[in-house]
Structure 1
């Protein structure tokens, strides 16, 4: 039996000659010679929410007295350590400056490829208000902006072209600052110049001195830089896509030499890598959503697990 809500108004009460009892909040009427009484539904009794696995001190003492022996499981988050083969340890120590815990302060060196922004003639410059945030989000955004200022990556701005900054969650639970550049992207041909990159927070306006990825075509400019730097290696033992670098080799000795050449280029051009995101000397690796190994590529099983495990339809509706 299904239940639903009905609105029974005055016309219905008049047509059915309804008797209403104000004390019991019931409505009575005759239907087919039978007296029908509508009663209100009983209020749902609040169900106390379970406290999970938490015990009070008295409950714990009672359990200890009753059982005599209790095992305690302590849950602790464990960060995944990067496994580095022993053969790679000396090489990584030699290039330890390529894997800093924090990016160094200051601007990167000027490169042959520069990022430019040209506005369409007559385009209206956006000037959007900052996004409302919770106190925790606002404090995190302020901290990240101050950190970027101290590193010399952004500076205060007086630009008339302003878009809001916001925070998005990362896979590790932390928050990443992003700039909502949709408005500026809609009126730009090539992104880049400093005053076009201004963003707004509650504290004021700031503009980038390095290229943010939020601008349209910014990834393509970064891709051109990477292709220029690794052109001698691409197609021989390196595949590059944005900030993902895949190094492949036929032998162990070749691989160590290839990794050394790539790290030398990164050091020479002041580019840096995150050691926790790197894997070394493995027979297969996850790259751009595919599993790459010596015999070719295959689909990442985690991407197709939902389809593989989809139950077979047993009714016409499920089909």
Structure 2
């Protein structure tokens, strides 16, 4: 599978690896049962993930987790995976995340800001091939494993922060701040903002990192807090 066909990051740049404690025995969760309507919701999401290349069917998974449906506003459902057993077996990655208050303070005095959110951010990073059988889940239709890094997996945030710290290193603190899959381009002078955005988009294109336009805001004059947008 081509990891870049939907804008995924080249595995040579970064790949997510699991560091499972060798003393932990693999756990295969007993399948959780859902009613027909929820089964349809799950299957639709599985089909979407399959079409996007984020998951694939699997035989003989090493670990096996259940699907969880989480209610969303408006009566819809979000499909998540119960990775609790797998996460317990993985030591914490202590890679540092930025402090939100410091990121907010760093925008003081900036005339223009632009906030950007990565499209399906975690899914743009590939899982190490040897770890995919461990990141597996079960539905009424069969067993599947993630090819891309899923949300809810322990240490996924640390891996993503490593990526953005690496690719935006020349800009961080100067004209951009990054917190996992959220990016904030800042300009002391409004006249410099287009140039700062051009520099940022050049990096995004180079690494094929896609954005979610619905969660982006450009040319904002000040922001109350990092997550206010």
TM-score above 0.5, yes or no: yes
Q: Which residue of 264, 272, 277 corresponds with 2:210? A: 272
Q: Which residue of 47, 61, 67 corresponds with 1:146? A: 47
Q: Does 1:112 align with 2:13?
A: yes
CA distance in 2 between counterparts of 1:257 and 1:106 reads 24
CA distance in 2 between counterparts of 1:200 and 1:176 reads 16
CA distance in 2 between counterparts of 1:290 and 1:151 reads 30
CA distance in 1 between counterparts of 2:66 and 2:172 reads 38
CA distance in 2 between counterparts of 1:262 and 1:148 reads 28
Task: Could you tell me which runs of 5 or more consecutive residues in structure 1 were left unpaired when the two chains were aligned.
Answer: 1-102, 292-319
Of stretches 226-235 and 278-287 in structure 1, the one that deviates more from structure 2 is 278-287
Aligned residues of 1:211 and 1:218 also touching (Cα < 8 A): yes
Per the alignment, in what secondary structure is the counterpart of residue 247 of structure 1? strand
CA distance in 1 between counterparts of 2:31 and 2:191 reads 54
Kindly indicate whether structure 1 or structure 2 has the higher relative contact order, using CA contacts under 8 Å at least 6 residues apart: 2
Equivalent positions of 1:36-47 (< 5 A) are none
Task: Could you tell me which runs of 5 or more consecutive residues in structure 2 were left unpaired when the two chains were aligned.
Answer: 94-126
Q: CA RMSD in A?
A: 2.4
Q: Report what 1:161 is aligned to.
A: 63
Per the alignment, in what secondary structure is the counterpart of residue 43 of structure 2? helix
Aligned residues of 1:106 and 1:151 also touching (Cα < 8 A): no
Q: Report what 1:182 is aligned to.
A: 84
Aligned residues of 1:154 and 1:210 also touching (Cα < 8 A): yes
After superposition, the C-alpha distances for 1:233-259 in whole angstroms (9 at most, x for unaligned) are 100011100111111112222111111
CA distance in 2 between counterparts of 1:214 and 1:157 reads 20
Displacement after TM superposition at 1:130 (Å): 2.9
- Give 1 or 2 for the bigger CA radius of gyration: 1
CA distance in 2 between counterparts of 1:107 and 1:198 reads 20
After TM superposition, the score normalised by the length of structure 1 is 0.54
Q: Which residue of 195, 199, 208 corresponds with 1:261? A: 199
Q: Report what 1:313 is aligned to.
A: none
CA distance in 1 between counterparts of 2:65 and 2:198 reads 42
Q: Which residue of 119, 125, 134 corresponds with 2:26? A: 125
Aligned residues of 1:105 and 1:151 also touching (Cα < 8 A): yes
